[in-house]
Amino acid sequence: MKLDIIPVKWTDEGVAMLDQRLLPGEEKWLMLRTYNDVADGIKDMVVRGAPAIGVSAAYGVALGAKQFVGTTVEDLGEEIEYICEVLAATRPTAVNLFWAIERMKETFLLAKSEGRTVSEIKQILAAEAKSIHDEDIESQRLIAQYGGGLLEDNSSVLTHCNAGALATGGVWGTALGVIRGAVEQGKNIAVIADETRPYLQGARLTAWELHKDDIPVTLITDNMSGHLMKKGRVQAVVVGSDRIAANGDVANKIGTYMVAVLAKRHNIPFYVAAPLSTIDKNCPTGDDIPIEERNTREITHVRDIQLAPDGIGVSNYAFDVTPNELVTAIITEKGVARAPYTESLRKQFDL
């Protein structure tokens, strides 16, 4: 049975976030009472996943506006501009962050042009953030519907990282939404989840979600997927994305590129599931996507346990880019796009 997992919520007290750093051992909710708290929550990965980051940023703007104590619309505009700068500086790769911030800015400018008061604009921004959240959940439902139709009955699906309800506004997810969609359609689907070093989103989060939904899941190490493909135990790969270039190159969690190469080698379809807000029309190719580098401690330590010797060089890229020629299809809320992606993705925006 599909559970309604909602990782971020708007409340009268502030923005509530399920602390994903503690899962699966502890399900703890944090109440973030300022926009700076929301920015820290995004940066510190209390919440993660491109759609969820976008929703959180929208709520951060709305929360900052709500707490504005000035009296003029002009001063509110300056405050919102600063709030957006703080939120935009949190994580560079997930384009949904910048998409949501721009949408909130445009909402403010429209309200200002209509002569709205400060009080009215605060309410309008809160309503817009909630609309972004609601639209994200509806997009997931459609992705689940379209993507679920691509998976065969009695198949085993490999996924990398966590692109489930936890990585979005909640309920379905993107990659896991495709899997949930297939299950809703009556198909027998089992999942193989890469652990996804170094942050272990597959082991901690994907396995947790699927287990709660009673969807069979087998956890493997990141370096085991090629072996299972060779043995015929993988019939499809489904992943999410943090940014998709206009030509269909896909930025996703580090290790995705290797999985795509292996899938191509073994003639296994490689599907990417993401809302249109993840597609960056202004980014021509994957070479133009900024790749976040994170604290090297994430690699040298697991929580407080040190795994590597002091004094060595460490590289911690959080994402890699999969070239479009390795992508079988990109599933959005508007349908299934296939190569050539420059044309098919543009058509989805124009529908």
* Structure confidence at residue 122 (pLDDT): 98
Task: State how far the Cα of 174 lies from the Cα of 163, in Å rounded to an integer.
Answer: 6
Tens-digit pLDDT profile for residues 217-266:
999 999 999 999 999 999 999 999 999 999 999 999 999 999 999 999 99
Task: State how far the Cα of 100 lies from the Cα of 98, in Å rounded to an integer.
Answer: 5
Contact (Cβ atoms closer than 8 angstroms) between residue 217 and residue 186: no
What is the DSSP secondary-structure string of 215-270?
A: --EEEE-GGGHHHHHHTT--SEEEE--SEEETTS-EEEETTHHHHHHHHHHTT--E
Closest CA to 169 of 17, 21, 30: 17
Reported pTM? 0.96
Tens-digit pLDDT profile for residues 138-168:
999 999 999 999 999 999 999 999 999 999 9
The chain-wide mean pLDDT, for the chain, equals 97
Contact (Cβ atoms closer than 8 angstroms) between residue 174 and residue 275: yes
Is the pLDDT at 351 greater than 90, yes or no? no
**Which fold would CATH assign to domain 8-141?**
Four Helix Bundle (Hemerythrin (Met), subunit A) (1.20.120)
Write out the two tokens for 122: 């605060």
Query: Hey, what amino acid is at 45?
Result: M
Tens-digit pLDDT profile for residues 253-304:
999 999 999 999 999 999 999 999 999 999 999 999 999 999 999 999 998 9
Task: State how far the Cα of 179 lies from the Cα of 171, in Å rounded to an integer.
Answer: 13
Count, residues in the chain: 351
Contact (Cβ atoms closer than 8 angstroms) between residue 16 and residue 30: yes
Task: State how far the Cα of 168 lies from the Cα of 162, in Å rounded to an integer.
Answer: 10
Active centre residues (catalytic): 242
Domain range summary for the chain, segments of one domain joined by +? 8-141, 150-350
198: Cβ–Cβ under 8 A, 6 or more apart, which residues? 298, 299, 316
Q: Are strands 15-18 and 189-194 parallel, antiparallel or unpaired?
A: unpaired
Rg (CA), the chain: 20
Contact (Cβ atoms closer than 8 angstroms) between residue 339 and residue 271: no
Is the pLDDT at 3 greater than 90, yes or no? no
Closest CA to 187 of 148, 161, 160, 213: 148
Indicate the CATH number for domain 150-350.
3.40.50.10470
Is the pLDDT at 1 greater than 60, yes or no? no
* Structure confidence at residue 350 (pLDDT): 84
Give mean pLDDT, residues 204-209: 97
